[in-house]
A = this chain, B = another copy of it.
Amino acid sequence: MTGNPWTRVASSLKYATPWFSVREDEVIRPDGEVGTYSVVSVGRLAVGVLPLWSDGSLTLVGQFRYPVDEYSWEIPEGGGDFEDDPLDTARRELREETGLEASGWNYLGRVHTSNCFLDEVCHLYLATGLTQGVAAPGPDEVLQTWRVPFRKAVAMAVDGRITDAISIAAIFRLLQRAPRLATPARQAARR
């Protein structure tokens, strides 16, 4: 009962950019009727990187997100070719957006961002053993970085100061694996 109840009969490309394309599939729906399913297909594999310092703080990246018309504080995110190792993409995006290099990498699993019409998959990573280098954002990226205690990032993800679903998922998964990161005692030890 968990198999694919949809049958694709035909598919045609309707629109394409370097970042995504739209295809229109002629399908036989689960109820047996003929229908159309339009899918936004992301041409790249997405990654999100949670850069955690040894003192329990986290580096967030801030940028104005044009599609939602809001400023957004997030973990470093980006995309790479499907042929590339997602970890290499994660290393590169972390370096470009924040200048950070990490010696430790842990996989935090994947998420689907909007599975009703978008095929995007985002792989999440925890990056540790951080050292600061020089950032090299793209020409259309105006980024700020902000180092916050992990427990503050948790509060922001919960109270809505962070709205980016990828960041929220990464913060949640790390918190569940390392709950002590968010305790006051941990923060007290920083001072």
In the complex, per-residue mask of A65-86: 1 if CB is within 8 Å of any chain B CB, else 0: 1111111100001000000000
Is the CB of A61 closer than 8 A to any CB of chain B? no
- A139 contacts which of B3, B33, B140, B165 (Cβ < 8 Å)? B33
Q: Which of A123-147 contact B (CB under 8 A)?
A: 139-142, 144
In the complex, per-residue mask of A133-169: 1 if CB is within 8 Å of any chain B CB, else 0: 0000001111010000000001001111001111011
Q: A117-B67, A144-B1 are in contact. Are A22 and B19 (CB under 8 A)?
A: no
Is the CB of A17 closer than 8 A to any CB of chain B? yes
| Distance in angstroms between the alpha carbons of A114 and B114 in the assembled complex | 7
Is the CB of A173 closer than 8 A to any CB of chain B? yes
Q: A68-B121, A113-B165, A116-B65 are in contact. Are A20 and B38 (CB under 8 A)?
A: yes
A134 smallest CB distance to B (angstroms) = 18
A residues touching B (Cβ–Cβ < 8 Å)? Answer: 1-6, 14-15, 17, 19-20, 22, 27, 29-31, 33, 35-41, 62, 64-72, 77, 109-122, 139-142, 144, 154, 157-160, 163-166, 168-169, 171-173, 176-177
A68-B119, A168-B168 known, 13 other contacts, Cβ within 8 Å:
A6-B66, A15-B22, A20-B40, A31-B139, A37-B67, A40-B67, A109-B160, A114-B166, A121-B163, A122-B165, A157-B172, A158-B177, A169-B169
- A71 contacts which of B2, B37, B39, B117 (Cβ < 8 Å)? B2
Q: A14-B15, A64-B6, A68-B121 are in contact. Are A172 and B160 (CB under 8 A)?
A: no
Q: Which residues of B contact A177 (CB under 8 A)?
A: 158
B64 in contact with A118 (CB, 8 Å): no
